[in-house]
Amino acid sequence: MLQLNNFYIHALSFTSIRFSSHSTAKILLKNYKFPEILPKDCEEQYIRGWGPGGSCVNSSSNAVLLKHKPTGCFVKVHQSRILRENIKIAYERLKMEVDKHLNGESSYSVQFNRIISQLEEKTKKSSQRKRQAMAELKAEGEMIREINRERENNGEESVMTSNFTNFVFEDVLNPRDSAKFIVNNTETNLIKINNEAVVKVAEIICNSTLAEIGQLNFDECEFHPKSADKAAVDWIFFMDTINFSFWPDEEINYWEITHNGTTQSGYFGVCVAINRALENGIPLTSADYMANIDEEIVEEIFRGDRDIPIPLLNKRMEMIRENGKILVEKFGGSFYNCLLKCSNSALNLLQLIIENFPNFRDFAEYRGRKVSFLKRAQILVADVYSCLHGKDSNADFTDLNKLTMFADYRVPQALAYLNVLEYGNGLLENLKNNKLLKCGGEEEVQIRGFSIEACELILNEIKNICETRKNSINPETFKKLNNFTCVDVDVWLWLWRRANAQKIEESVPFHKCRSIFY
């Protein structure tokens, strides 16, 4: 532990000390109180220089000798050819010297150097753990490849290929089966699916322009990584670790963030915050950094405009740390290594996520059965696919169509506005009164389950429309629609809701449930 003034912080670890430690240390020490340096307590002398600029400059008296009379501390500065710039620099340096003179081991500079030393030590240890994990992963991968070669020679199915009937938690229904169970075991009139509206929404999607459908591509978003590499995968993993519950307790306290002239909220706001941290040299998406991230850093990175904090800040910090430690200890410090273990299967990767990362286990109990929705886990798989597909063969999943929609609070809102979901009067009244729904309660579980089933029905109708109109639909549009999955239906509805946010908010409120799962 390090003591900074009157509070304690955890020492951090980094993948790259050279590029990140100064930025992080400055954030950790941002509340440090320096002694006040008053001009009346200082003695200024202007002397001939000895610094950069050559003999012409050094022969003039534009260097500064600044002395602090109460302590006797002094500094010499000749960094610039301009006298006033040298005076400004001199006062900053004198502040550091006086601080060190008065506070000794508790001074800013000593603490700063102490942080750097501890970072270097922790990084060495972390690198050793990563090398060990990588060696184990390589050995395991070679073993699996050898087994698969033998099984293929014998005409058998490769290992690590999942059809999602063998769910990693045998007592939990997978999301698609969970939705069907929920819809088929509803004894109340909370929600109904309007089949006529299902057809209408499928028509709207099919009539979309090719440009609108193209928006579903991951790299079309200006805030997403443009590379298709390990760094992009780690960015996605970090994002989907904290991809939940962005709505405010009160509308006046809406979390949003402004950077580079753009103001964003919700998911895109978090994207902006992550990118800003990376631009400032903070390796936020590094597993080493995640595993030891400090509360002060999290607060600073996700500080919104008007100093409004992002909801569930402490939970996000806990989950970042937890997932970072798991990556370091099990997967060589990168989520990309999880991708290498999944044998081009989206479901294998999904299984790996929920088996190894507990905070992705989006489970509930309904009518005596354990059900699952796996919003964050499924969107993590889909994001990796969308980012790398066609660019990295490891992400060319052959079973993406086995994923369901991502049951959050925005897509159900869009489905309700489009009359695909019909809320009963009691439920609608609760939503309009901003009632906070219980996580895992009947209302919340039904909204999520019915939303998954509704998207399945919309997808089926899209396929029917494509089949009947294949000779009249634009060939390029037909190709995209014919390859549509529930993931695409979800993303289309999510983007459509965002584009029509105001009129939807005025008509149908989203369901409010404080959850780490969505």
Q: Is 281 in contact with 315 (CB distance < 8 Å)?
A: no
Angle at 149 between CA 145 and CA 154, to 5 degrees: 145
Angle at 492 between CA 487 and CA 494, to 5 degrees: 95
CA separation, residue 357 to residues 45, 91, 360, 480 (Å): 63, 51, 6, 33
Catalytic, out of 294, 408, 488, 490:
408
Count CB-CB contacts under 10 A for residue 60: 14
Q: Is 175 in contact with 164 (CB distance < 8 Å)?
A: no
Token pair for 483: 């390859």
Q: How many residues does the chain have?
A: 518
Instruction: Determine whether 169 is exposed, middle or buried from the number of CB atoms within 10 Å of its CB (0-12, 13-18, 19+).
Output: middle
Cα distance between residue 67 and residue 75, in whole Å: 7
For residue 76, what is the enclosing H or E element? strand 74-77
Cα distance between residue 351 and residue 402, in whole Å: 12
Crossing angle (nearest 10°) for helices 313-330 and 108-153: 60
DSSP-derived secondary structure letter, 423: E
Could you identify the residue written with the tokens 């949003």? 256
Residue 518's SS3 state is coil
Cα distance between residue 11 and residue 122, in whole Å: 8
Sign of the alpha-carbon torsion through 205, 206, 211, 217: positive
The residue among 119, 53, 112 whose CA lies nearest residue 86 is: 53
Catalytic residue status for 399: no
CA separation, residue 412 to residues 121, 241, 402, 425, 436 (Å): 48, 22, 20, 16, 16
Query: What residues are annotated to the active site?
Result: 408
